Amino acid sequence: MTLEQLRVFVMVADQLHMTRAAERLNMTQSAVSASVAALEASCGLLLFHRIGRRIELSEEGRLFRAEAEAVLARVAVAETVLADLSGMRRGRLVIHASQTIANYRLGPLLHRFHSLYPQIELEVALGNTAQVVSAILEGGADLGFVEGEVAAAQIARLAIPGDQLALVVGRDHPWKGRASIAPQDLLEEPFVLREAGSGTRQVFEDALRGAGVDPAALKVSLALPSNEAVLSAVAAGAGATVISDLVAAAGLAAGTLHRLPLALPPRRFYALRHSDRYHSRAARTLLDLVRGKEAEERTEG
């Protein structure tokens, strides 16, 4: 049994398809099949059922998968420690971020990090706050960046600069031009919101509760999985929304969207990591960039 065989086995178990697993691993399908067959031969067990053109994990394969993933996770930690010992000359940093942060804040910071440490491989995935937290807890991400409040066990949270939520409507919405909007007024018109689990929606609903409005009373006509989809629907007249001012800026400047005077609290962003897992030098360095620590040190120097 080799680490490479374990990596192949876990990928096939994830994909349940030899060809897709081979594509993810940058291997040929025959090499993937041979690796799985060699692993099965070494333990004398069938880890997969071959059913026509499909494959399924056997019971033995299901039980073994958890152990294989645990071994690979420990290897990843060992590789991270070695990368730290090598002085940031090699390594890998996996980041999961919610859409607003990934699209409007992280890009320049990741470019700066890469220019300083080009040997560190960066992998970035998008998800809503709930998905980012899940990736941290399951070991699929070294760092997470979210807009929503997080109170999960084993999650260490660091506040970083955030944004401001804005009540936004399309140019032909009946609210356009109103001098004031009260929280109770929000129950009069349909809303287009991000999906449940998104930080934007969570913070908006918390603000409603703080103002004495039940979020369940909102007329939510559409719940969409991306900021762009929400703004497109709002611009087309589907309803109002509350969204980051960073996201809405282009539409407001172009005149396709209109901002209304509703007092909403400023929103903090958060960097997340697993409190019990090794916190690599690369992760610590990126967090310093996010907090502007490097810029402060360079100014002071």
Q: Residue 110's pLDDT is what?
A: 92
Enumerate the β-bridge partners of residue 145.
97, 271
Sequence spans of domains, the chain: 3-84, 87-160+268-300, 163-267
Q: Residue 291's pLDDT is what?
A: 84
> 43 or 293: which carries more pLDDT confidence?
43
* 163-267: CATH topology: D-Maltodextrin-Binding Protein; domain 2 (3.40.190)
> Band of the pLDDT at 298, cuts 50, 70, 90?
very low
> Band of the pLDDT at 53, cuts 50, 70, 90?
confident
Q: Residue 88's pLDDT is what?
A: 65
Q: Which tens digit of pLDDT belongs to each residue from 63-102?
A: 999 889 888 888 887 777 776 666 666 778 999 998 889 9
Lowest mean pLDDT among 194-198, 236-240, 291-295: 291-295
Q: Residue 300's pLDDT is what?
A: 37
Sign of the Cα torsion 19, 28, 10, 75 reads: negative
The average confidence (pLDDT) of the chain is: 88
Q: Which tens digit of pLDDT belongs to each residue from 225-282?
A: 999 999 999 999 999 999 999 999 999 999 999 999 998 888 889 999 998 887 888 8
- What are 279's two structure tokens? 């916190």
> Band of the pLDDT at 219, cuts 50, 70, 90?
very high
> Band of the pLDDT at 296, cuts 50, 70, 90?
very low
Q: Residue 84's pLDDT is what?
A: 66
Domain pair 3-84 / 163-267, same fold:
no
Q: Residue 257's pLDDT is what?
A: 96
Amino acid at 166: A
* Whether 227 contacts 243, CB under 8 Å: yes
- Architecture of the domain made up of 3-84: Orthogonal Bundle (1.10)
Q: Residue 81's pLDDT is what?
A: 73
Dist. CA 191–CA 201, nearest whole Å: 11
- CA 198, chain centre distance (Å): 10
Residue where the block lists tokens 């994830």: 14
* Whether 277 contacts 138, CB under 8 Å: no
Dist. CA 168–CA 258, nearest whole Å: 6
Q: Residue 52's pLDDT is what?
A: 81
Q: Which tens digit of pLDDT belongs to each residue from 159-186?
A: 888 889 999 999 999 999 888 999 999 9
> Band of the pLDDT at 301, cuts 50, 70, 90?
very low
Dist. CA 246–CA 266, nearest whole Å: 12
Would you give the end-to-end CA distance of the chain in angstroms? 53
> Band of the pLDDT at 54, cuts 50, 70, 90?
confident
The hierarchical CATH code for the domain 87-160+268-300 is 3.40.190.10
